A = this chain, B = another copy of it.
Amino acid sequence: MPTHFDGSSTECLALDSFIKLVRAADSVSSQVNEHLREHGLTVSQFGVLEALYHLGVLNQSDLAQKLLKSTGNLTTVVDNLAKQGLVERRRCTEDRRVVYIHLTDVGHETIASILPSHVAGVVDAFSVLSPEEQTELGGLLRRLGKGK
């Protein structure tokens, strides 16, 4: 992963770290998410199902916030999940602006059946690092992610 950049050592180190960060996230993500294709789910769809599974019923704004996506995007992803019968929209009666997203029975079964292999994939991907190293990494990433 050479940087091909003729800058100061500070600059080269930061650029190199940046590339490694993006590549590692890409690489681990694609490794971890590979199994989703067999279930006909995209990464975003999985994210929505997982959030609903762990947090219960949510409206689209909450989902957007949890998943760090725009509300327009959530409309699309929820549309596609609803088409597959995995979630259901229910208009809130007290505040008619709000739409609650529910897992259907099929959706619940689907996510419940996928989660174990997802967790196993993540554990496997991180097994190249010891628990202490994972903790060390987590600390560095947390500080990095807070930078803005």
Contacts and interface: CB of A to CB of B under 8 A. Distances in A.
A60 to B, nearest CB: 19
A28 B145 contact: yes
Interface residues of A, number: 52
Interface in A1-58: 1, 4-5, 7, 10-11, 13-18, 20-32, 54-55
B125 A147 contact: yes
A134 interface: yes
Interface in A97-148: 119, 122-123, 125-129, 131, 133-138, 140-148
Given A5-B119, A119-B7, A128 B141 contact: no
Interface of A: 1, 4-5, 7, 10-11, 13-18, 20-32, 54-55, 68, 119, 122-123, 125-129, 131, 133-138, 140-148
Given A5-B119, A17-B137, A23-B141, 6 more contacts: A14-B127, A17-B138, A20-B137, A24-B145, A26-B68, A28-B147
A-B complex: 4 closest residue pairs judged by Cβ atoms:
A25-B25, A24-B145, A4-B54, A24-B141
